[in-house]
Structure 1
Amino acid sequence: MSDPQNISHHTGTVSPPEHSSTVSPPPSVSPPNIVVIQADQMAAQALGAYGDDAAKTPHIDALAEQGAVFDRAYCNSPLCAPSRASMMTGVMPSELGCFDNGDDFPSSVPTFAHRLRHAGYHTALVGRMHFIGADQHHGFEERLTTDVYPADLDMVPDWTLPLEEKLQWYHDADAVFTAGVSKASVQQDFDDEVGFRSLRHLNDRVRANQAAAAKGEEQQPFLLVSSFIHPHDPYEPPQEHWDRFAEGEIPDPMHPEVPDAAEDPHSHRLRAMSGFDQRYPDIEQVRNARRAYYAAVSYIDDHVGKIRERLETLGLLENTVILVTSDHGDMLGEKGLWYKMSPYERSSRVPMIAYGPEHLVPAGRYQTPVSLLDLMPTLVDLAGARKTESAGDSLLEIATREQAGEITPEDRPVVIEYLAEGTYRPQLTLVRGQYKYVLCPGDPEQLFDLVSDPDELHNVASEEKHAGRVAQLHGELDARYDLTALESGILASQDRRRLVAEALSMGKIRAFDHNPDPEQRYVRGDFWSSLEYGTIRGGNR
């Protein structure tokens, strides 16, 4: 596929082809364009599309009403870096060796960006993906912003440390106590840039297609991943979004009581790690933080609306598939927990909404459990790229098979791993049908019936009537994992990475952070051609 832009190699100017002002708007490309919009720490349960009456998310809800909604979508690790790495590759974090937020994954592992780029797509990332290490692209042809967090090996857990010895970068309770409106913040600055650059990139893809059409060349489909940091803590939304919610409009946590320590030590470790065991917000502070979170979700919804509107304005919407998701959720005070890192539904479930042409996206609501592992095969399916073995399956295929009655929720298990700070042993969760089973060596087994007990209040693992099911689910995990070897591998990885991080902090320091390339934009060199290339004509001429 040829270069869609006419580049003057003498001046570096991006110029249009001759007479491009007379070119009609380009026809739809085939295969479809794909836009993935990802939020950070946005729980499915905080969206109107998933039944939250307090949420103000009209743009996401509109996509859901007309698209495919997966009601039981999970992350594969309730932590940013491993969740995103597995999402991009279709490989579980433990297999990638990406255990935590201080861990990279090999540049030689193909991501969905590699696969679609190989199939002829232009691939661009705008925003965060929490890549750790030297490779800050992982297959994206363009990355238009840096990340909001550093890319170095700064956040390596240490399972040999006692719980009271906290590392500097641990989540802290202060984010709940200080939640509220900010006129400006690091996260607002970042997401405003992500939003702006996403819209401008859509303009640029139309410009490139105009240039290709004028030369009689094939137009290039594109993949755009727009990845925002909100509603991740600290909870500091703009005033405008805070004001959308009246005081008392957002319900309190349904079950703020902390689970019994003997039955659920993991939750108590998470509380201690963040300092919630020493001080806990009162009910007004809880309400304040929850309002700030919902306001931040509404802020993300506005960005979703702007991206869809720009696609429509540019004439791209009819041949574009939009997917909305998140890397994990937020406990938001349920069970006395905040943030993520827990296998409970509020932390591990994510939105998964697909919107697009009806011949591509089977509209409806689907109950089959899916996970972020399924995103890579879905994009490959949409793009008509070369099929590959994956731990996931195409969401489009899953939806079609559920519609046809060929699969039921019992047929498709989802596995969630947690291998980072706040635990001392690998924690594995298996969702099969209506049951969720949690296994962590040294901790009591947990089994929840998500139909009769959707809030996960009653651990039935020790009940005699569930003994067979516990044995079955335990056996499934035993067949998938060698827990002793996994634990040894994690400890060895932590030790290696601590040494590397300490060494790289000595002497001359070179950060892994991504610095975007300088842009060739606006009027340079070939004056009139530069202006002409930048113009996307309106309908009334």
Structure 2
Amino acid sequence: MTEGKRCSVVDAIGDQRAKRDHEAASPPNIVVLQADQLAADALGAYGNQVVSAPHIDQLAQSGAVFDRAYCNSPLCAPSRASMMTGLLPSQNGCYDNGADFPSSVPTFAHHLRALGYHTALVGRMHFIGPDQHHGFEERLTTDVYPADLDMVPDWNLDSSQRLPWYHEADSVFAAGACKATVQQDFDDEVGFLALRHLNDRARVDRALGRRNPFLMVASFIHPHDPYEPPPEHWDRYDNVEIDGPTHPDPPTADSDPHTHRLRAMSGFDARQPNAAQILRARRAYYAAVAYIDDHVGRIRARLHELGMAENTVVILTSDHGDMRGEKGLWYKMSPYEQSARVPLIVVGPEDRVPRGRFATPVSLLDLAPTLVKLAGGDDPGPSLLDIARREGAGTSAADRDIVIEYLAEGTVAPHVTVVRGQYKFVRCPGDPDQLFDLDTDPDELVNVAGHPEHTRRVALLRKDLDDRYDFAALEEQVRVSQRRRQLVSRALATGSVRHWDFDPAPEQRYVRGDFWSSLERGRIPDLGS
């Protein structure tokens, strides 16, 4: 080899090493994969022995798994708004599925976009109102549910008066495989466009000659009810023994009025599924989880195919869980573990993401500061990864409070839960206090709020919540918001109607303008061939 050739090879190796060093030092790409109504305990990664979700299991084996992660409101829109803003529903004003939050409230999409990230939403985020981006530079799909003020609760209604959009018991009685549904169509579109968006980010990197960091949130509707998975996924549970609810009977009405309000709201007080119907609905739910797992696998495979995996942090979570027949409840809206606890798994380069399982209580409020810090920004909030590192070093903040608010249909007063260490305390004016010791009573069967040995603890938790909340003022705040939105909704439904649903613009992504340049821009060479 001549000296000139030797130098050129050395230079090339040096250039490659410098590029790798630059890639490692620069902010990572971030992909957030969000399911809807996916309970943590419905995954093998969290101990479920029935469900088949190998791609999510693989994520858990190679990243940080938060065993005690909670949503901050067990309902779609308020949970997602809290996750994106780092603020509770009482703080951002998104109380229920018919509430918007102001466009001026920063979200993690705003923060990352300001830090130079390309930010894209593929799928649902249940934004209500005219702002259907909330900081995302690009949105590739509309939402599966309407963006108008169609689902405003009314705390003045008698419990016997049902609004037309309430959850229905029919989802349990009619559960089973379907060749096509609105929700399948939506998620298939989300999956396809997520893969294509990753291709587009690779095209941008190729055109720039460097990596331009991006945030992609791919948000699916399954395994949300109706429980109607594709036949392929339903068939995966042939000859599989489906587990029934561990405790299918509801608590007494005087001990837990909230559970009975939820049952009445969905019609489960009038008719109850039998054992076979319960197992069929749970099988359909598990099949929908397998369907989501396939999407997760395809997105991860595409990251590897495009050479992006090494510089991408992947986060998997959900907006809330699903009761699946436990305590006579289905769907969400309850502070019980099956409804309020969510999967939260973070996978990425080892120098950024610690490996292992972590027991420190966390919530979706922690996601926004985590993303900002991953992107190189400053945020005073706790990062999930810092929490994991502290626990790994033996300095876990096990007693940090996790707050869960419920301010929507099925209650007539603010319903607030605090998780502190092994205890969960539930307070709702007009209802009896509830205290559960999750260490000795993980199924939340025994309310120990009235036990003498817990008198001091209950008094302290009650005082702490009363210091944090003016419950009467919050109730009035919610009621005023409901009346205001009901008026706006009636007015906007009168005369010329203009819906707020996001309408994706047609894309000019194929051959336009210069023929050969268009073809070249679309190429992503296979470097392995």
Query: Normalising TM by the smaller chain, what interval?
Result: over 0.9
1:279 alignment partner in structure 2: 271
**What are the within-5 Å matches in structure 2 for residues 146-165 of structure 1?**
146-165=142-161
DSSP 3-state at the match of 2:489: helix
Residue 105 of structure 2 is aligned with which of 102, 109, 112? 109
Unaligned 5+ segments in structure 2 are 1-15
Q: 1:170 aligns with which of 160, 166, 173?
A: 166
Kindly provide the CA deviation profile for residues 205-224 of structure 1, in whole angstroms up to 9, marking residues without a partner as x: 000010001xxxx5310000
Amino acid at match of 2:29: N
Q: How far does the alpha carbon of each residue in 1:480-522 deviate from its partner, in whole angstroms, 9 at most, with x for none?
A: 1111110000000000000000000000000000011211211
* Alpha-carbon distance between aligned partners in 1 of 2:104 and 2:254, rounded to the nearest angstrom: 43
Match of 1:16 in 2: none
Q: Residue in 2 aligned with 1:234? A: 226
Matching residue's letter, 1:450: L
Q: Which residue, out of 182, 188, 208, partners 1:212? A: 208
Deviations 1:436-489 (Å, cap 9, x if unpaired)?
000000000000000100000000000000001101111111111111110000
Report the CA distance between 1:540 and its aligned residue.
4.2
The TM-score normalised by the length of structure 2 is 0.95
**Deviation per CA, 1:107-132, whole angstroms, max 9, x where unpaired?**
00110000000000000000000000
- Give the one of 42, 63, 67 matched to 1:67: 63
2:131 counterpart residue number:
135
Question: Pairwise CA RMSD of aligned residues?
Answer: 1.4
Which is worse superposed, 222-231 or 512-521?
512-521
Matched residue, 1:435: 423
Aligned-partner Cα distance in 1 for 2:279–2:167: 19
Tell me, yes or no, if the aligned pair for 2:123 and 2:143 is still in contact at 8 Å.
yes
How far apart are residue 408 of structure 1 and its match?
3.8
Find the aligned partners of 1:247 and 1:231 in 2 and give their Cα distance. Answer: 21
In the aligned structure 2, how far is the partner of 1:156 from the partner of 1:48? Answer: 36
Q: Which residue of 1 aligns with 2:390?
A: 401
Tell me which of 443, 452, 459 is aligned to 1:464: 452
Match of residue 40 from structure 2: 44
Distance in 1 (CA, whole Å) between partners of 2:137 and 2:527 is 31
Query: For 1:368-407, what aligned pairs fall within 5 Å after superposition?
Result: 368-385=360-377, 387-390=378-381, 393-407=382-396
Match of 2:178 among 137, 157, 182: 182
Name the aligned partner's letter for residue 500 of structure 1.
V
Show the counterpart of 1:494.
482
Query: In structure 1, what residue type is equivalent to 2:328?
Result: G
SS at match of 1:229: coil
Q: Which residue of 2 aligns with 1:244?
A: 236
1:504 aligns with 2:467: no
Query: What pairs with 1:272-311 in structure 2 (closer than 5 Å)?
Result: 272-311=264-303
TM-fit CA distance, 1:406? 1.6
Equivalent-residue separation in structure 1 for 2:344 and 2:213 (angstroms): 23
What is the CA–CA distance in structure 1 between the aligned matches of 2:339 and 2:449, rounded to whole Å? 21
For 1:10, the equivalent position in structure 2 comes to none
2:328 aligned residue = 336
1:510 counterpart SS class: coil
Aligned residues: 511
**Which of 344, 350, 362 is residue 352 of structure 1 equivalent to?**
344
Question: Which aligned segments of 4 or more residues in structure 1 are displaced greater than 4 angstroms?
Answer: none
Distance 1:253 1:236 in 2: 19
Please say if residues 317 and 343 of structure 2, whose CA atoms lie closer than 8 Å, have aligned partners that are also in contact.
yes
Separation in structure 1 between the aligned mates of residue 125 and residue 397 of structure 2, nearest angstrom: 33
Tell me, in whole angstroms, the C-alpha distance in 2 between the residues paired with 1:520 and 1:433.
53
Gaps of 5+ in 1: 1-23
User: Partner of 2:246 in structure 1?
Assistant: 254
Q: Secondary structure at the match of 2:222?
A: strand
Moved more, 242-251 or 454-463: 242-251
2:461 & 2:392 partners in 1: Cα distance?
Answer: 27
Looking at structure 1, the residues matched to 132 and 33 of structure 2 have their Cα atoms a distance apart, in angstroms, of 19
State the shift of 1:297 in Å.
Answer: 0.4
Match of 2:311 in 1: 319
Q: Distance in 2 between matches of 1:58 and 1:113?
A: 30
Aligned to 2:289, what secondary structure does the other structure show? Answer: helix
